[in-house]
């Protein structure tokens, strides 16, 4: 295992919105943040998105999965190969299926092949160990959110809200000395966020997403559809809890009879309402909510959250963080924790029975150990 010196780690994340892969360098000892390095983004082409969409919900050995895995690996080799100065890589892969209390969790992409092709040690398969020990396997960014809260000097409980394909909330008490300490974190998926809106836009307009919430801004929210959405039992379930990308595919059915603008407005309101429902589970009211992920760029969604929540809501850029790269940075952080033998999840974040360190390490860490000795 690595000692506690600062490592220049490179993290990568390909989210459930299927738009592309992010990569970002983080300087960290796996506990504190020493500095932020360069970042980059590699978009998936429409043809590549089609390959990934065809494999959603499928498991290893099923049709289309190998094609999706090769695509993910090739795209990450292209993206990560542009960062020659990184010591260690954290590779999440592309989630295709997630059934934590069923068949498990499946992220396409083999970290061992990536390590061989890039010539660097790769930490990957972050979720499986957590699931094997009874956890949800998600969300995994909360330990990094704790580090970010400490980095910005937060002194009172606050929340990070990631609005990606699925929404997830991390409530943080920054006064805790470790992320796995009792009461330091509570994290869970709030509900669907951008994924169903993106699916609507692709189905209705052939567009990947509702840029700047422009279509939603011209529509009206249909209360009947919103109320049916909020009747879903998931919103009453005590966290920790997590979702697969398509667990709320019924949302499209609820807006099937609406015109495009009203459908977009209603689905945006659904995503925001899911967050409002989630706030009831916070151990204490957060001082503020910092929003990351693509949803923070949707003015309609942000306005709905600002009106509906009882505390200030702002994008993470307001405190000097990068909302486009926070998840990639998180997997850089988690990679160093895995290499040091530190926990990456705990009962408050995934419901796992005890704090656990996930992740497989492929490649040789000996040169990195020598460098940090």
Tokens coding 284: 């204490």
The runs of H, that is alpha helices, within 104-231 are: 111-118, 128-132, 142-151, 194-205, 214-217, 223-230
Radius of gyration of the chain (CA): 19
Asked if residue 46 is part of any domain, the answer here is: yes
pTM to 2 decimal places = 0.93
Domain boundary among the residues 275, 303, 319 is at 319
Q: Tell whether the model's pLDDT for residue 63 goes beyond 70.
A: yes
Assess whether 165 and 306 both reside in one domain. Answer: yes
CB 59 within 8 A of CB 98: no
Q: Tell whether the model's pLDDT for residue 27 goes beyond 90.
A: yes
User: What is the pLDDT averaged over residues 220-239?
Assistant: 95
Asked if residue 359 is part of any domain, the answer here is: yes
Asked if residue 335 is part of any domain, the answer here is: yes
pLDDT (0 to 100) of residue 230: 95
pLDDT (0 to 100) of residue 370: 61
pLDDT tens digits for range 248-291: 877 889 999 999 999 999 999 999 999 999 999 999 999 999 99
Assess whether 310 and 341 both reside in one domain. Answer: no
Which residues are CB-neighbours of 327 under 8 A, at least 6 positions away?
11, 13, 15, 22, 92, 141, 162, 164, 292, 293
- DSSP line for 1-63: ---SS-EEEEEEEE-TT-SEEEEEEEEE-SSSEEEEEEEEEEEPPHHHHHHHHHHTT--TTST
Assess whether 284 and 334 both reside in one domain. Answer: no
Asked if residue 97 is part of any domain, the answer here is: yes
Q: Tell whether the model's pLDDT for residue 216 goes beyond 90.
A: yes
pLDDT (0 to 100) of residue 247: 80
SS3 99: strand
Give the E-state strand segments of 308-365 in sequence order: 313-315, 360-362
Assess whether 229 and 315 both reside in one domain. Answer: yes
Q: Tell whether the model's pLDDT for residue 129 goes beyond 70.
A: yes
Picking from 20-29, 97-106, 213-222, 263-272, which range would have the lowest pLDDT averaged per residue? Answer: 97-106
Q: What CA–CA distance (Å, rounded) separates 79 from 22?
A: 8
pLDDT tens digits for range 324-348: 999 999 999 999 999 999 999 999 9
CB 331 within 8 A of CB 90: yes
Q: Tell whether the model's pLDDT for residue 36 goes beyond 90.
A: yes
Q: Tell whether the model's pLDDT for residue 3 goes beyond 80.
A: no
Picking from 19-23, 100-104, 304-308, 361-365, which range would have the lowest pLDDT averaged per residue? Answer: 100-104
CA neighbor of 326 nearest in space, from 169, 145, 167 = 145
Assess whether 312 and 363 both reside in one domain. Answer: no
pLDDT (0 to 100) of residue 373: 58
Asked if residue 355 is part of any domain, the answer here is: yes
Beta bridge partners of 349: none
pLDDT (0 to 100) of residue 244: 75
| C-alpha angle 97-101-106 in degrees, rounded to nearest 5 | 25
Total structural domains in the chain? 2
Assess whether 224 and 259 both reside in one domain. Answer: yes
Q: Calculate what percentage of the chain has a pLDDT beyond 70.
A: 98
pLDDT (0 to 100) of residue 313: 98
User: What is the pLDDT averaged over residues 120-146?
Assistant: 95
Assess whether 92 and 170 both reside in one domain. Answer: no
Assess whether 129 and 176 both reside in one domain. Answer: no
Domain boundary among the residues 283, 302, 319 is at 319
Assess whether 295 and 364 both reside in one domain. Answer: no
Tokens coding 46: 């429409």
Tokens coding 300: 């309609």
Residue 1: pLDDT band with limits 50, 70, 90: low
Asked if residue 274 is part of any domain, the answer here is: yes
Mean pLDDT of the chain: 94
pLDDT tens digits for range 313-326: 999 999 999 999 99
Assess whether 157 and 295 both reside in one domain. Answer: yes
Assess whether 238 and 265 both reside in one domain. Answer: yes
What residue numbers bound the domain in which 71 lies? 7-134+325-372
pLDDT (0 to 100) of residue 371: 65
Asked if residue 143 is part of any domain, the answer here is: no
Assess whether 11 and 91 both reside in one domain. Answer: yes
CATH number of the domain where residue 271 is located:
3.30.420.40
Domain boundary among the residues 319, 346, 364 is at 319
Asked if residue 24 is part of any domain, the answer here is: yes
Q: Tell whether the model's pLDDT for residue 211 goes beyond 70.
A: yes
pLDDT (0 to 100) of residue 372: 63
């Amino acid at each position: 295992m690595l000692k506690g010196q600062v490592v220049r780690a490179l993290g990568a994340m390909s989210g459930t919105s299927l738009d592309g892969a992010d990569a970002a360098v983080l300087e960290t000892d796996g506990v504190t943040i020493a500095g932020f390095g360069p970042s980059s983004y590699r978009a998936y082409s429409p043809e590549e998105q089609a390959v990934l969409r065809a494999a959603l919900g499928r498991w290893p050995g099923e049709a289309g999965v190998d094609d999706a895995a090769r695509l993910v690996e090739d795209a990450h080799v292209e993206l990560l190969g542009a960062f020659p100065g990184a010591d260690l890589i954290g590779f999440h892969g592309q989630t295709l299926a997630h059934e934590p209390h069923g068949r498990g969790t499946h992220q396409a992409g083999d970290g061992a092949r990536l390590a061989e092709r890039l010539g660097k040690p790769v930490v990957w398969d972050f979720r499986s160990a957590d699931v094997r020990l009874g956890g949800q396997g998600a969300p995994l960014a909360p330990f990094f959110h704790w580090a970010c809260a400490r980095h910005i000097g937060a002194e009172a409980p606050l929340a990070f809200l990631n609005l990606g394909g699925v929404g997830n909330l991390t409530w943080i008490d920054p006064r805790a000395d470790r992320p796995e300490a009792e009461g330091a974190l509570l994290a869970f998926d709030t509900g669907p966020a951008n994924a169903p809106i993106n699916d609507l836009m692709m189905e209705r307009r052939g567009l990947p997403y509702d840029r700047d919430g422009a279509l939603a801004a011209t529509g009206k929210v249909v209360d009947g559809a919103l109320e049916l959405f909020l009747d879903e039992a998931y919103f009453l379930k005590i966290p920790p809890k997590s979702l697969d990308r398509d667990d709320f595919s019924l949302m499209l059915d609820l807006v099937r009879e609406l015109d495009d603008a009203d459908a977009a407005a209603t689905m945006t309101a659904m995503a925001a309402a899911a967050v409002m429902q989630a706030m009831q589970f916070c151990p204490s009211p957060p001082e503020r909510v910092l929003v990351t992920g693509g949803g923070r760029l949707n003015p309609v969604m942000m306005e709905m959250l600002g009106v509906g929540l009882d505390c200030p809501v702002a994008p993470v850029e307001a405190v000097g963080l990068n909302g486009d790269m926070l998840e990639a940075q998180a997997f850089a952080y988690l990679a160093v924790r895995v290499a040091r033998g530190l926990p990456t999840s705990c009962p408050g974040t995934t419901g796992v029975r005890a704090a656990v360190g996930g992740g497989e390490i492929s490649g040789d860490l000996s040169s990195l150990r020598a460098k940090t000795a």
